[in-house]
Amino acid sequence: MKFKTFAAFVGPSVFMMLLFIAAPLVSVFIQSFQVTQPILEQIEVETCTPGFLTQTCTTEIKTVPVLDEAGKTVTETRWVGLQSYRNVLQMDKFWSAVGNGSWNQIMQIDFWKALRFTLSFTLLTLPLVIGVGLAIALAVNNATRSIRGPIIFISLLPFIITPVIGSLSIYWLFVGDGILTAMMERWSGQNISMFAQAWTIELLMYFYRVWHVAPFAFVIFYAGLQTVNMDTLESAVIDGASRWERLRHVIVPHLMPLIIFIALIHLMDCYRVFDEIVGFRSQAHVISLQWLTFDFMTPDDAGNRAMSRASASSMLTMIGIVLLLIIPLRRTWRDHKGSAH
């Protein structure tokens, strides 16, 4: 392809990537080393608010931002080095908790609590998604042609649902006396509260994520299964390989690049787990790194946002994703180089 043609095709998307991904990333990176504060002053303010019949007026010293002549808040931006990272990571508390050998104390620090959940969520759902996806793909592949269509359609349904809506429906099915909780209560004869303790919430989250993402793995694997070399399979049958041996030695090696592809996508998506936290309202028990960033950014009633900590926390999330991806990426790279020889 001529370079000009290539550039014409790729140009718009490179431009979009620079504008919407690279530029914000650079800006977040810079902001994570800065703190922007309004200049504040203390003034005496008399505030009169309604009581039920008469007003109550109070005079107090309030800390309020200074406004310039145009009525804009005067702000000042300072470089603070790694201060925001320190505020997020709270290493001093972390090390003292490690010194005490207290896991519980480490789990009291927001970042480490979030990291613990994010990692176990990512790493536990990964094999499940691949396993379930592969199982569905094999089942569909071996099903009679006439029922294949409907089965594919039904297996794809969870993937079509918007993640927030999906997690909310799971929440409603299980919260309080939701239909499914009520059913479980009838079976077991006990009062069950799925959202009262961390482990049941986490279990529901794993279940939901696998249910939601497995169809994606299924579609990819199903496509991959169509390209398995039939000659190799048939010779394996003649050699007396069992179904399991055929899967282990022929099909899985053939699908390996796809498995790595799905693992990559899944790691990237899962490390940013967020919908489950909001949908399940699990903040009291379980939080994730992405939720932590969101929480820093959400303004409180007085309009304060912790932008510096939010930037630091999202940079840390990105570093985490990069670290996680290194292993599968190195493998792909090796395979890539290997195939070139």
List interacting residues with another protein (CB under 8 A): 35, 37-40, 45-58, 61-65, 67, 71, 73, 84, 87, 104, 107-108, 110, 175-176, 193-198, 280-285, 295, 298-304, 306, 308-309
What is the sign of the dihedral through the CA atoms of 115, 119, 122 and 124? negative
Euclidean distance between CA atoms 316 and 292, whole angstroms:
11
- Least Cβ distance, residue 279 to another protein (angstroms): 11
Euclidean distance between CA atoms 295 and 292, whole angstroms:
5
Cβ neighbors of 18 (< 8 A, separation 6 or more) are none
- Least Cβ distance, residue 286 to another protein (angstroms): 10
Nearer to another protein by Cβ, of 142 and 298: the residue is 298
CA distances (Å), origin 223, targets 138, 266, 288: 11, 18, 33
- Least Cβ distance, residue 62 to another protein (angstroms): 6
Nearer to another protein by Cβ, of 108 and 142: the residue is 108
CA angle, residues 157, 274, 103, in degrees to nearest 5? 125
- Least Cβ distance, residue 37 to another protein (angstroms): 3
- Residue 145: how many other CB atoms lie within 10 Å: 6
Euclidean distance between CA atoms 263 and 178, whole angstroms:
34
Residue 80 C-alpha from the chain's centroid: 29
Q: What CA dihedral angle connects 210, 216, 218 and 224, to 10 degrees?
A: -140
Nearer to another protein by Cβ, of 92 and 231: the residue is 92
Nearer to another protein by Cβ, of 302 and 340: the residue is 302
Nearer to another protein by Cβ, of 41 and 234: the residue is 41
Nearer to another protein by Cβ, of 7 and 64: the residue is 64
- Least Cβ distance, residue 121 to another protein (angstroms): 19
- Least Cβ distance, residue 265 to another protein (angstroms): 31
